[in-house]
Structure formats: structure tokens, C-alpha cells
Amino acid sequence: MRVLVIGSGAREHALLLALASDPGVAELFCAPGNAGIASVATVRSVDASSDESVVALATDVAADLVVIGPEVPLVLGVADAVRAAGIACFGPSAAAARIEGSKAFAKDVMAAAGVRTAHSEIVDTPAKLDEALDRFGPNWVVKDDGLAAGKGVVVTTDRAAARDHAAELLENGHPVLLESFLDGPEVSLFCLVDGETVVPLLPAQDHKRVGDNDAGPNTGGMGAYTPLPWLPEGSVDTIVADVVVPVAAELVRRGCGFSGLLYAGLAMGKNGPAVVEFNCRFGDPETQAVLALLDSPLGELLYATATGSLAQQPAPRWRDGAAVTVVLAAEYYPATPRTGDVITGADIDGVLHAGTAQRDDGTIVSAGGRVLSVIGTGADLSAARTEAYGRLASIKLPGSHFRTDIGLGAVEGRITV
């Protein structure tokens, strides 16, 4: 099988490494890729948001399967165009991808499916903002109703900060979603979904804020770990039965059945799981940790999902132990990251590239905010952390920063449900 992966981040690097270990995958291509991906796949150029460009490339490389990593091309309908060209595609239709592309649509689906989530209200004009803010608090959750790459959310006890964020979104023409605050630790659960067939992967936990102890602004994700030693036994089955299966069934009922990876972000509160958000694709940086423990052939699972035969597949197999992802970010991220700095020491096992580029002389330089994902695995979470941070110590990037506490709360037993 010849596989084309669309995307350029550490998520795509992780997907490609897992696909490369599948004996059923004969050749790998990635577009637009990055400097690290070039070592595992043939890198081609593409406008990932253009259905014509992606279809032309998939045809040119004779792809048997196209895997679309980022959310933007999915929301724009690139997967629809690939399937219309007669090529199997892992990724939902534009209609189904609204589960991420429109938070209002996601809320409507959850209400119809009877799925617990935060109380919410859409504000589409500044004139209604103050009155709406008064109906929330003392913890305000303010979200961009559209795609925001994980950074359009502010959670704060400061009403003025909540108002400022909402006002900025409205000024830029983006409707604002206000939500009630959900208590409890968060869980990211990835599920392969083929219509009403749902197959969960390992649960993970992301660390969104930029600094240790969850200080500072939200980012696209500064690290993740799996599995979750604090998650009660049977929780994944409960989430699948009470959250993912009803939502998948509701999408089928609406004529936009989901095909691909449905990501449920949940708060595990005292009343059980409640949905924080849905995404229509593999999450970053959780994917890097989850796939590090996958023992089943990934290509086989993705192709079965894309071709409507997921129900015939055996359950995914997992290696024992734990995995940790630590993100190395560029100076000033998540504001305006500095780029073009030379990176040394990144050519070792367990280092996945995200925001990198290669100069003509072969030098690897930073080219984005989240530059590298450093992976550690071990017999338990403590050992996985030791390996990840040990690898990170050998990498040099001027001005870079990372969190030192990825998975630490779980290791120290400070997370409870």
C-alpha cells in the first residue's frame, strides 16, 4: 500500500513513523512535510487547503490511501474531493468535520445525542457581550466559535480578561462561545470512527498552558502522556458508550456520518465525563505519545476506517508501559515565535519534527512555534519521563523553552477523579 500523509507537524511525523513499521505499507509520501519527515517519507510540495492540489498529488504518487492530518483541509472538504477521485481517504467529510469547525454545531449535535457538556451561549455582537458575561463566572470560558489551532480559548477568573478576549474575537469578525466551567482533570480520547463503529485508542492527557503548573496562556499543547494511571478502570468504556457512540450515531442520523479520527476532549468531574470539545483529527501532542505504544499495524487500521471495514478489524494491540511527549518551543511562543535559529542534537531516536526546515547546507533550523516533540517510553510514567527529558537535554535551540512537569502530577499521585 502506498500512503500519502498531508501535513507538516510532529503529529504527521508520528503517523509516518508508525506507518513505516506496518509491513503492509510499501511506500510513504508526505506533503508538505518538514526537515525530520524527509528521513522517513518522500516529501512533496502541496497546498494542503486546496482539494485540486491534494487530489493531483495523490494521483501523481498513485496513493492507495490519503491520510489528512490537520483540521483546516478537513473542514474545507479536501477529504470529500479525494474520495470523489476514487482514492481511499482517512478523514471526515466537510459536513462531519463541522464537529470541530463550528462549536455551535458540535453543541447542537451533543444536545440531540444527550451528551453532557458545558452550558453555552453564542455572542455575535459586542452589544450583547456584557449582558452575556454576567450570566457566567466566577470562572469564564471564552472560545472562538471557529478553528483556532488550540489557542482560541481563554479560561480565567478575571472578568476583564474574559471580556478583552471576547471583544478581540468579535472585532475580528469571529462569533464568541461562552461556556460554563467544567470541573475535573481533562482526558483526550481518540476514537477511530466508521459510521457507527467506534474503536477507542489509549486515553491521554494534554498540557495546554505554556508554563509549569499550568501557568500562562493556552498553546497548541506543550506535552502529553499516556496511559493515565489515575483514570478509574472502565472509564474508556463509559466514555465510548455515553459520549462517542451517541455522537457518531447522531451524525449518521443527520446524513453526515463520521469517517476518520474523532477526538473527544473531556472533563472527568464528580458527575462523570463531560465534553469540553470535539476535534475531527488526531490531536497534537497526544498522538506522538499514543502512537509510541501502538503495536498493531497502523496502515491497516486507517485503511479499514477509510473503506468502511473497521468493524471487521481486531481491537488495537498496545505495548506495555507508558509514553511521554515534551514539546520544545521557540522563543516567544505562543505569541510571535522567533524562527531561523540553528537546532543541534535533534537527530536522535525519539525526536519528532514540527516547526523545522533544512537549509541548503543541511543545517536544521527552527521554522515555527512548536519546534520539536521529544518522546520517552518506559515501564511506567516515571521511566518514560526520565527518557524524554534525558533526550531533551541533548538538544540545543537558542531561546527555546519547554515545560518540566509533563506527567508529573500523575507520577506524584496529585490527580484524582
The residue among 203, 244, 205, 210 whose CA lies nearest residue 110 is 244
Identify the band that residue 206 occupies on the pLDDT scale cut at 50, 70 and 90. Answer: very high
Report d(CA 9, CA 164) in Å as an integer: 31
How far, in Å, are 9, 90, 97, 163, 324 from residue 259 at the CA level? 22, 7, 10, 37, 28
Q: What is the dihedral of CA 206, 216, 388, 396, to 10 degrees?
A: 140
SS3 275: strand
pLDDT tens digits for range 310-334: 999 999 999 999 999 999 999 999 9
Identify the band that residue 374 occupies on the pLDDT scale cut at 50, 70 and 90. Answer: very high
Q: For the chain, give every domain's residue range.
A: 2-93, 120-179, 185-312, 322-411
Supply the pTM of this predicted model. 0.92
Report d(CA 207, CA 184) in Å as an integer: 14
Cell of residue 32, nine digits: 508538505
Give yes or no for a cis peptide into 227 (omega within 30° of 0): yes
Identify the band that residue 350 occupies on the pLDDT scale cut at 50, 70 and 90. Answer: very high
Contacts of 56 (CB under 8 A, 6+ apart): none
Cell of residue 247, nine digits: 455522537
Report d(CA 357, CA 364) in Å as an integer: 6
What percentage of residues in the chain have a pLDDT greater than 90? Answer: 91
Task: Please tell me the CATH code under which domain 322-411 is placed.
Answer: 3.90.600.10
Identify the band that residue 150 occupies on the pLDDT scale cut at 50, 70 and 90. Answer: low
Q: Is the pLDDT of residue 149 over 70?
A: no
Identify the band that residue 103 occupies on the pLDDT scale cut at 50, 70 and 90. Answer: confident
**143 vs 87, residue with greater confidence:** 87
Average pLDDT over residues 227-256: 98
Average pLDDT over residues 326-349: 96
pLDDT, the chain, mean: 96
How far, in Å, are 44, 145, 229, 268, 404 from residue 178 at the CA level? 41, 9, 32, 20, 31
How far, in Å, are 44, 120, 146, 256 from residue 98 at the CA level? 28, 17, 9, 10
- What residue ranges in 184-321 does DSSP mark as E strands? 186-194, 197-206, 209-211, 215-218, 223-226, 259-269, 272-279
User: Using the 8-state DSSP alphabet, how is residue 312 labeled?
Assistant: G
What percentage of residues in the chain have a pLDDT greater than 70? Answer: 99
Q: Is the pLDDT of residue 45 over 70?
A: yes
The per-residue pLDDT for 84 is: 98
Taking a C-beta distance cutoff of 8 angstroms, is the pair 262, 305 a contact? no
The CATH topology of domain 2-93 is Rossmann fold (3.40.50)
The per-residue pLDDT for 148 is: 59
Identify the band that residue 128 occupies on the pLDDT scale cut at 50, 70 and 90. Answer: very high
Residue type, 22: D
The per-residue pLDDT for 119 is: 87
Architecture (CATH level 2) of domain 185-312: 2-Layer Sandwich (3.30)
Indicate the class that CATH gives domain 120-179: alpha beta
